[in-house]
Amino acid sequence: MKKLFGLFVLLISFSIKEVSACTTFFLEKNGQMAFGKNYDWMTGTGSVNTNLRGLAKSSLPLENGNVLKWVSKYGSTTFNQYGKEFPNGGMNEKGLVVELMWLSESKYPAKDNRPALSVLQWIQYQLDNNATVDEVVATDRAIRITSTGTPQHYLVADSKGGVATIEFLGGKMIVHRNDKLPYPALANSTYDESINALKNKRSGDNSLDRFSNACSMLKQYKQAKTTKPLVDYSFDILNKVAQGGFTKWSIVYDITNKKIFFKTSNRPQQKMIVTNGFDYACFSHPKSYNLNGDDKGDITRRFVVFDYEENKKMVKKAFKESEGINIKEELQNAVGEFAERVKCS
């Protein structure tokens, strides 16, 4: 099993390296808060899932770290592509949002006494256990993120207005927040490089240009006397930094009102989820929704009971459509079946 999961992480990295171009930002005005994310990738296959509180979980059995066990404190709603429990991002019931982007410069901590989490399960762990950005940053003392070749960095925000970039450079967690975070945005360059390019008006680099465009629109909205709703303006930013059909998902988390808005390249009609409309109690049924469903508007009641077999199908479809990733059926089954190990504590 350890070799299978190690191969899973390694093979995904080869393909993502050339194509990942995601952009994120946090926008706040007059006490209202939103978080935007464009997911740029070769396939838009995926699902939105609810994750219950009170579940006993464990980390992937990675070769270079001890297994971590925990019980989820908070329910969450996540966007998944390679199986439940391995989200690309999401928001929990406390309003904590965690999203990832590719960062080639990432170098994760060396093996030590801390148990290890993969780059995707790290997101689920944070949503399961934390309500604030400060709490997320503090986990670095107890857990270690690891990868065999999937360099990521993160933008994190909470319902108190806390926001931070989290990067792993030179084997250490590097955090930008408060006065070290003049613009709460992130693309596919380090935050320091992005800010320096912005100050020096550098252009021509896709990642730095997207960062600059997002920052410009964030500044404009904060300073302008506009009545345009926060969510609508967030989608304006996402449209500005979109990569054509390569942008598969555009997501806006309305942190203040605990709602999620999204659209996909296959189904551009905007959908909305009322996250506090779900029952996150452990003995209730987790719910799921196909990201490319034909619905529009409020889809909260369009979620169906999570189906393990459908999850496996989604995982296989996502791998099949991920050009350049050649993964054996045995491995695809192992990833798809992982969620079946998660039970109420």
pLDDT at 54: 98
| 155 within domain boundaries | yes
Closest by alpha carbon to 289, among 277, 313, 276, 307? 307
| 296 within domain boundaries | yes
Closest by alpha carbon to 195, among 222, 175, 171, 215? 215
pLDDT at 328: 73
| 34 within domain boundaries | yes
| 344 within domain boundaries | no
pLDDT at 336: 86
| 150 within domain boundaries | yes
| 46 within domain boundaries | yes
pLDDT at 324: 65
pLDDT at 63: 67
Domain ranges, residue 198:
2-332
pLDDT at 66: 83
Q: What is the pLDDT of residues 255-293, one digit of tens each?
A: 999 999 999 999 999 999 999 999 999 999 999 999 999
CA gap 343, 53 in Å, rounded: 10
| 206 within domain boundaries | yes
pLDDT at 161: 98
pLDDT at 323: 73
pLDDT at 10: 44
Q: What is the pLDDT of residues 19-45, one digit of tens each?
A: 568 999 999 999 999 999 999 998 999
pLDDT at 185: 98
CATH of the domain at 298: 3.60.60.10
The two beta strands, 23-29 and 47-51, are unpaired
* Sites in the chain below the pLDDT cut of 50: 7, 10-18
What total of structural domains would you count in the chain? Answer: 1
| 339 within domain boundaries | no
